[in-house]
Structure 1
Amino acid sequence: MREIPGPHFNHVSTGRLPSGQSCVARHLPHSQTYWELKATLPKGRPVFKRQEIVIGGEVFDVYFRPILDCVKALYNDPEFTHDLVFAPERHYSDANKTARLFHDLHTGKWWWSTQKTLERQRPGATVVPVIISTDKTQVTLFRNKSAYPVYMTIRNIPKDIRRKPSQQAFMIIGYIPTARLEHIKVAAARRRALSNLYHACMRKILAPLRTPGLDGIKMASGDGVVRRCHPIMAVFAGDYPEQMLAAGVKAGECPTCPQPRDELGNLDDVYDVRDLTAVLEALAKAEGNATEFTRACTAAGIKPIHKPFWEDLPFVNIFLSITPDILHQLYQGVIKHVIAWVKEAYGAVEIDARCRRLPPNHNTRLFLKGITSLSHLPLPGGLSPLRLLNSFLERFHQNKSIFVTLGIRAHFNIPKLHNISHYTLFIELFGTLDNFNTETTERLHIDFTKNAYRASNRKDEYLQMTLWIKRREKVLRHAKFMTKWPSVYGVTLAALVNKYGAREFREAFARFMVAFRNPVLTARQIEHNAADFSLPFQSVSVYHKIKVWNEDSFGREFSNDIMDVVHAKPGYTDKHGRLVGGRFNTLLANEGTGEHTGVKGYRVGQVRVVFTLTNTAWERVFPSGSPQPPRHLAYIEWFSKFPNSPDPNHGMYSISRPSS
């Protein structure tokens, strides 16, 4: 636990690159894999189990993975080793610590308070916040066939990694039965049975978290460090129907507070969070008189659920764990409603005409055909301070009566609109809302449910779906940890000069070797010693393409990274005898002092060769026991440095290629 004064940004810094017009650079993102660091692969993700759940005398099959093994699989995945967060932090925008920042979950109040509680009970705890998400989805276009997946991830993995499906930070841990119980003719009884079925399955899946959440369990991260970890369910993410089902409240109500449904549109009277103590006391009467149990639940503001899945989970307050769903509540809810109201108030013709009259601007996206025909309206990026968020919400409620006056709305008792009043609370508890946006799990439906179902023969599909997922995960793990093969083997040093344009490869590698072995030498000493260095190899293995992840240029933690490709391939003759020109990409390298803006501290270079040495040559150059650089190196020709100021005529920086 620590406090960080501002300004605070998370960013990846790189070391200083060697100087000179051409050099061997070791600071490019490389494809060094876990296979090169350990002799064996880590354990894979656990297999699915099938168990029977009995509800109302009927037997249902539930497929799920042991959740503790799932938590361990994510926690010790070497792909996440260097990014894991193990302790909460307080971040501030000023050195006096007067304005607190909230972004990832470890900066919120929930982790900090939970850590303090655990430290008082058992010092030395490492909290592993678990996020659970459920969402029923259609798997066929016809016949109304559906599946009910359960997803999980841990919040020790930063959000910019969690939200990328390619990173596989989310794991499917189970399928809930989708029975409709049509044999139960009374609608109210059928709804209660479906609710009990859901909670019974979720309780079976999450029950292993009870004891480790309190007492802890030893777990090793990808670097082999063993800590006493406490896996605790921190967040339940789902759309509004899922929130109602998980919290056990009636449709049309708020899952967080007990504000009456006919007062949801009133911002003046904001209720406190539902009383968890009163709810647990009511649930404790489930084994007694049925009438008394129902009355107690009604008085506590929940449905009479028999043993909800969160009842015995440590440190869980379900009414605070159910976080806002900005996809369905905000993007597809409130904003969609407001646009419809404005369209009805002004008319689509006038709104579209105003959009078309907007002047062009490189910072503004123009909708030359208007906006009324759009099905999805993109929102600008960035975050507003919490005080502005509350201020804008108050302004909306102060002026919303215009829609009543125009006869567009009769009331604003809309749960999705009311939920915005709780946004500040959840941002302070768990960080910004993109930490638990259901857009991620909606995207996972394709990989883990729809594609899995289509791969089955539609008979006893869950057995086949779980087997398909397991095999797919093995293929992905194999591709992730196995070493990538070079594009060309045995490229001679002469070919590096003639075909790749690496004119000073020998000299550059010699300077790199001398500087790496003796980092305290001056540039003059490096040049002098490199003159006597003899290369112990005559060929290298070359890669013609590498993939790199670029962080946001402004250091914004909530923005998406961009995957890019660097090509370094010489010309060749295709199968039709035509000459295809070579492709050697340029890049912008941080020399170690570059900031998030401006060109100071950066250098433009052209990648000529990306290469590695054979094991025999590597052992000669870097004997066992000596410091080891990355196995993948690059030869780069540097352009001239950026001038102190841009050209006054066109406002751009002029640089030149190295002289031949």
Structure 2
Amino acid sequence: MSAGSHQRTHNPNRLSCPQCGYECRNSSGLTQHVHSAHTLYDEHRVQSSEPLNEDHQDNDLHAEDHENRPYTERAQGTNIRRVELHPVMNGHPCTPDGTPLPSPTTAPPLHAHTASTDWSPYNNRLEFETAEFLFKRTQMSQSKVNALLDLWAASLLKYNDKPPFADHNDLHKTIDATHLGGVPWQSFETSYTGSLPDGPVPSWMTAKYEIWYRDPRAVIENLLSSPDFNGEFDVAPYREYYGPGSGERQFTNVMSGDWAWKQANLLSKNKDLHGSMFVPVILGSDKTTVSVATGQNEYYPLYLSIGNIHNNVRRAHRDGLVVIGFLAIAKSERRHADSLLFRRFRRQLFHSSLASILASLRPGMTSPVVLRCPDGHFRRAIFGLGPYIADYPEQALAALIVQGWCFTCPQDRNHLDHPDLPMPARRAREHTEELIGALEADVLWHDYGIISDVIPFTSNFPRADIHELLAGDLLHQIIKGCFKDHLVTWVGEYLVPVHGEARGQELLDEIDRRIAAVPPFPGLRRFPQGRDFKQWTGDDSKALMKVYLPAIAGLVPDDMVRTIAAFLEFCYLVRRSTHTEKTLQQLEDTLQQFHEYREVFRETGVRPAGFSLPRQHSMQHYIQHIRNFGAPNGLCSSITEARHITTVKEPWRRSNRYDALGQVLKTNLRLDKLAAARVDFTARGMLRRSCLSDALIETEEDRNGVVPGPRVEASVTLARRVRIYPKSLEALGMHIGVPQLERLVSLFLYKQLNPEFPPPETHLLPSPSTGRSLRIFHSAIATFYAPSDLSGVGGMHRERIRATPHWRGSTQGRFDCAFINKDPDATGFTGMDVARVRCFFSFKHEQRAYPCALVEWFSVVGDTPDDTTGMWIVEPDFDISGHRIAQVVHVDMIVRGAHLIGVAGDRSLPFGLHYTHSLDAFNAFYMNKYADHHVHEIAF
């Protein structure tokens, strides 16, 4: 399948900035001049003038705020971003005693009154950073800490000095003395209180169950008072609009959804609460196993966050999600494990434990509590139970719903997605209570899926409806559930029965070879053996989703491919960080296509009974979840699973494995204290330089500062240069196999110097004087705004684009592909080309540096994506002599990396095809829009 005689002349139209002549790029549909970042905006806020309802027409508290209330408005061309804050529950600042300030623009009191030289309980910065390094960053064992400090002490004896700590006990004692951050752990015991049976008594009936927890109100106070969250925090529910005219509604963070607004409306009925700040309490629970080899050591952590913190902070794990409890796990002998009495006790243990742990929040749900916020202001806070993060079994437990039923709606478990049945209304707390009062337990169980013999924890708290609060779980419902457990399994179940055992296994092997031959890409997990691995993790499922569709195309019926394509579209759309009415409609359309195409699995006998599956059924509720709580990626169990590592698994590994929970709790408390100390020292400006810099220039005035400026949508910089290449363009061209390189550079230079004129004859082109200024690079770093992907708190993401002849020490090269901007006015992929980078280099001409890339072009096949896979197909460009068409471009034209996967069709890949040869082995390629979410937004 080597490249044939396909010939095409590629003449991309490059545009330049009229202000400075630099070439521009288009990233995700947003025109951006990278050198100057023309997209500037000012931030304001606007108070909502929309009346709430008849009950709120007479609200007059803080009426003057309608003029002074901040508003947000961003100008970008003809587009305006407009934010309407809730007019009553608006988080008006107050004094520490709760008296409203005359104006919300009044400067807040200073966050810290401690001197900027006070490192208490540490003596100096060296002590603090040593403690943080040993205990948090390296997690050094106690014996190794002692050995290191002994060596340190020995090296200082001749100076009559000593190390920061004497031993590990001294280190731990100092951390424990930190007065910030750490909320102490408490515990209570519970046990079965019912009647005991005659004869042998099951062990679970006499056991004592210990629940460890931290006061959730104190944890929330710490979260609210942390200046680390300033600028990433909402004080009021809001509605956000973007676009021309009145704008299109956007859903992002929890406070942008309808649920927070409705909660504020309910609270507004009490005039004593006007001007308060609503604080949604986000909970999450999930069992985790720390070691299978040592006897299934299970722990049951309970996490807490608040809806005021932005999703990107919670996803970046910047202490925005805190462990507040370890629930008890009831155990029983096998002969009693399935008894109705034990299962009831296990459920009641869960709900009673939650009710007890959260009890300190109940008074603050009806009467405001004055708390300090990240911006330094005090506000009257009113708590409310918010979204609950959990996987499906945990969701069923929290909602007291029978497994197999939907916890959001009462659709019959046997007909969850029946095409002739309308979607019923959402389950509601009041309706469930009425049913329990009117019907027998058996009827409730079998006809409604309701478990009626347990008191839910939400019954202890006002305005709490668990059916509404349970958020969609992308990781377990969509990624691991629908994709891994259903679709991938169904494809395998189709191939073997239809084609026979031998041929079916051959086709599965072919799928594995295609997956193994996928070219590398930053962040893409490789599958050397295909998808045939024993244990699947969430990361395995996410990685396989990126490459699975091209692997099955041509080997299974087209409608089967379209089914998975529609599912992937839904999955990638729903995981975006910002949703609009447009994306919600796209979700609706894509879900309809998925339901239509998946009938192929019924028709081929894979699913003869249909699709009454709770996880697939849950897809129908995601649009409402988004309207309620904003983007689902901020409320996904992947956040709690990632937190398991730092709060449970790593502390457990640091323990002596005996009665480890107490050690795990102590480790978590110390980690919290170190994190709080770092935030405090940073807020006081004590950690600006490195520790060594402070030691060298303690008395020197700090001349560094924050440089204000707009966010740059994307940038590309060349990495470290390589010194082993020729120093002339002619010799370099021969070295890399591109003898016309010198002419290509001359063409490039002419266009840079004369952007408005076509190039003249070859002999009139400028001759760059490179010499020592010629530098070669094996990679470049692309930095761009991609909040839907794993990124920093600011949403910025970085990737490396490689062009190296020796990849990982082998003789095989790696030459990545990239998106090249061609039309700043076009949106998405229509404004870009795809090219393969053969070399990064830079040179100087007339004292000006030109960072460049030598690229080989691909052209798009057709005007629309492929009908079956939904992916664009590209082909390599060749000149009339059969050589690849190449061009030198400025690195500013590179948007970011692109990922291509070969189009194999119904042909088999040759055995032994190595992934490093994949980009040379096919005549056509899918432009993989599932490489990550930013690429998907470009190519959607």
Common fold by TM > 0.5: yes
2:219 maps to 1:48: no
The alignment partner of 1:236 has SS state of: strand
Could you say which residue in structure 1 is the equivalent of 2:423?
A: 270
Could you say which residue in structure 2 is the equivalent of 1:162?
A: 314
2:558 maps to 1:393: no
The answer (yes or no) to whether the contact 2:512–2:532 under 8 Å persists in 1 is no
After superposition, the Cα gap between the structure-2 partners of 1:100 and 1:480, relative to the gap in structure 1 and judged at 3 Å, is: closer
Could you say which residue in structure 2 is the equivalent of 1:16?
A: none
2:443 maps to 1:261: no
The answer (yes or no) to whether the contact 1:134–1:238 under 8 Å persists in 2 is yes
Query: d(CA) in 2 for partners of 1:464 and 1:458?
Result: 9
2:539 maps to 1:341: no
Could you say which residue in structure 1 is the equivalent of 2:471?
A: 323
Query: d(CA) in 1 for partners of 2:789 and 2:216?
Result: 28
Q: CA deviation at 1:362?
A: 8.8
Which of 205, 222, 242 is residue 93 of structure 1 equivalent to? 242
Q: CA deviation at 1:396?
A: 1.5
The alignment partner of 1:259 has SS state of: coil
Which of 268, 271, 289 is residue 138 of structure 1 equivalent to? 289
- The one-letter code sitting in structure 2 at the alignment partner of 1:102 is F
After superposition, the Cα gap between the structure-2 partners of 1:422 and 1:461, relative to the gap in structure 1 and judged at 3 Å, is: same
Which of 559, 583, 602 is residue 404 of structure 1 equivalent to? 602
Could you say which residue in structure 2 is the equivalent of 1:432?
A: 631
Could you say which residue in structure 2 is the equivalent of 1:376?
A: 541
The answer (yes or no) to whether the contact 2:401–2:407 under 8 Å persists in 1 is yes
The answer (yes or no) to whether the contact 2:72–2:82 under 8 Å persists in 1 is no
The answer (yes or no) to whether the contact 1:85–1:156 under 8 Å persists in 2 is yes
After superposition, the Cα gap between the structure-2 partners of 1:196 and 1:641, relative to the gap in structure 1 and judged at 3 Å, is: farther
Which of 390, 407, 432 is residue 238 of structure 1 equivalent to? 390
The answer (yes or no) to whether the contact 1:56–1:193 under 8 Å persists in 2 is no
Q: CA deviation at 1:307?
A: 2.1
Q: 5+ unaligned residues in a row in structure 1: which ranges?
A: 11-31, 286-290, 497-505, 517-549, 566-596, 598-638, 655-660
Query: d(CA) in 1 for partners of 2:228 and 2:352?
Result: 34
The answer (yes or no) to whether the contact 1:68–1:208 under 8 Å persists in 2 is yes
Which of 106, 114, 117 is residue 263 of structure 2 equivalent to? 114
The answer (yes or no) to whether the contact 2:404–2:613 under 8 Å persists in 1 is yes
- The one-letter code sitting in structure 2 at the alignment partner of 1:48 is W
The alignment partner of 1:231 has SS state of: strand
Query: d(CA) in 2 for partners of 1:198 and 1:51?
Result: 14
1:524-558 alpha-carbon deviations (Å, 9 max, x no partner): xxxxxxxxxxxxxxxxxxxxxxxxxx997337466
The answer (yes or no) to whether the contact 1:351–1:370 under 8 Å persists in 2 is no
The answer (yes or no) to whether the contact 2:408–2:468 under 8 Å persists in 1 is yes
- The one-letter code sitting in structure 1 at the alignment partner of 2:466 is I
Could you say which residue in structure 2 is the equivalent of 1:535?
A: none
Q: CA deviation at 1:33?
A: 10
2:890 maps to 1:652: yes
The answer (yes or no) to whether the contact 1:453–1:465 under 8 Å persists in 2 is yes
Q: CA deviation at 1:464?
A: 3.1
Scaled by the length of structure 2, the TM-score of the pair is 0.48
Query: d(CA) in 1 for partners of 2:325 and 2:241?
Result: 39
Q: CA deviation at 1:267?
A: 4.7
Which of 434, 453, 461 is residue 652 of structure 2 equivalent to? 453
Could you say which residue in structure 2 is the equivalent of 1:502?
A: none
The answer (yes or no) to whether the contact 2:441–2:451 under 8 Å persists in 1 is no
Q: CA deviation at 1:34?
A: 9.7
After superposition, the Cα gap between the structure-2 partners of 1:106 and 1:489, relative to the gap in structure 1 and judged at 3 Å, is: closer
Could you say which residue in structure 1 is the equivalent of 2:330?
A: 179
Q: CA deviation at 1:320?
A: 1.2
Query: d(CA) in 1 for partners of 2:782 and 2:284?
Result: 28
Q: CA deviation at 1:333?
A: 1.0
The alignment partner of 1:139 has SS state of: strand
After superposition, the Cα gap between the structure-2 partners of 1:177 and 1:361, relative to the gap in structure 1 and judged at 3 Å, is: closer
The alignment partner of 2:401 has SS state of: coil
- The one-letter code sitting in structure 2 at the alignment partner of 1:124 is G
Which of 675, 682, 685 is residue 476 of structure 1 equivalent to? 675
1:107-156 alpha-carbon deviations (Å, 9 max, x no partner): 11111111222223221121111110111111222322211110111121
Could you say which residue in structure 2 is the equivalent of 1:123?
A: 274
Scaled by the length of structure 1, the TM-score of the pair is 0.67
2:713 maps to 1:553: no
- The one-letter code sitting in structure 2 at the alignment partner of 1:330 is I
The answer (yes or no) to whether the contact 2:180–2:673 under 8 Å persists in 1 is no
Which of 614, 630, 641 is residue 442 of structure 1 equivalent to? 641
After superposition, the Cα gap between the structure-2 partners of 1:490 and 1:350, relative to the gap in structure 1 and judged at 3 Å, is: closer
> Cα RMSD (Å) of the superposition?
4.3
Q: CA deviation at 1:304?
A: 2.1
- The one-letter code sitting in structure 2 at the alignment partner of 1:228 is R
After superposition, the Cα gap between the structure-2 partners of 1:388 and 1:251, relative to the gap in structure 1 and judged at 3 Å, is: same
After superposition, the Cα gap between the structure-2 partners of 1:262 and 1:297, relative to the gap in structure 1 and judged at 3 Å, is: closer
Query: d(CA) in 2 for partners of 1:365 and 1:400?
Result: 28
Deviates more, 1:40-49 or 1:115-124: 40-49
After superposition, the Cα gap between the structure-2 partners of 1:97 and 1:56, relative to the gap in structure 1 and judged at 3 Å, is: farther
The answer (yes or no) to whether the contact 1:4–1:90 under 8 Å persists in 2 is no
Q: CA deviation at 1:55?
A: 2.7
The answer (yes or no) to whether the contact 2:785–2:796 under 8 Å persists in 1 is no
Deviates more, 1:76-85 or 1:388-397: 76-85
Q: CA deviation at 1:646?
A: 12
After superposition, the Cα gap between the structure-2 partners of 1:134 and 1:273, relative to the gap in structure 1 and judged at 3 Å, is: same
After superposition, the Cα gap between the structure-2 partners of 1:641 and 1:242, relative to the gap in structure 1 and judged at 3 Å, is: farther
Query: d(CA) in 1 for partners of 2:849 and 2:274?
Result: 53
Q: CA deviation at 1:436?
A: 0.6
The alignment partner of 2:191 has SS state of: strand
2:380 maps to 1:228: yes
Identity, in percent, stands at 24
After superposition, the Cα gap between the structure-2 partners of 1:73 and 1:367, relative to the gap in structure 1 and judged at 3 Å, is: closer
The answer (yes or no) to whether the contact 1:356–1:366 under 8 Å persists in 2 is no
The answer (yes or no) to whether the contact 1:132–1:236 under 8 Å persists in 2 is yes
Aligned length: 505
The answer (yes or no) to whether the contact 1:203–1:309 under 8 Å persists in 2 is yes
Which of 297, 305, 308 is residue 456 of structure 2 equivalent to? 308
After superposition, the Cα gap between the structure-2 partners of 1:486 and 1:34, relative to the gap in structure 1 and judged at 3 Å, is: farther
Query: 1:247-646 maps to which residues of 2 (within 5 A)?
Result: 247-268=399-420, 269-281=422-434, 301-336=449-484, 337-345=486-494, 347-349=507-509, 351=511, 372-373=531-532, 375-378=540-543, 379=545, 383=576, 385-410=583-608, 411-482=610-681, 483-484=686-687, 485-488=690-693, 553-554=784-785, 556=787, 560-561=791-792
After superposition, the Cα gap between the structure-2 partners of 1:45 and 1:280, relative to the gap in structure 1 and judged at 3 Å, is: farther
The answer (yes or no) to whether the contact 2:227–2:679 under 8 Å persists in 1 is no
Could you say which residue in structure 2 is the equivalent of 1:192?
A: 344
Query: d(CA) in 1 for partners of 2:252 and 2:465?
Result: 21
Q: 5+ unaligned residues in a row in structure 2: which ranges?
A: 1-46, 49-70, 74-78, 84-110, 121-177, 195-205, 496-506, 534-539, 547-571, 709-780, 799-827, 829-845, 855-885, 893-940
The answer (yes or no) to whether the contact 1:343–1:351 under 8 Å persists in 2 is no
After superposition, the Cα gap between the structure-2 partners of 1:466 and 1:97, relative to the gap in structure 1 and judged at 3 Å, is: same
Q: CA deviation at 1:413?
A: 1.1
Q: CA deviation at 1:56?
A: 3.1
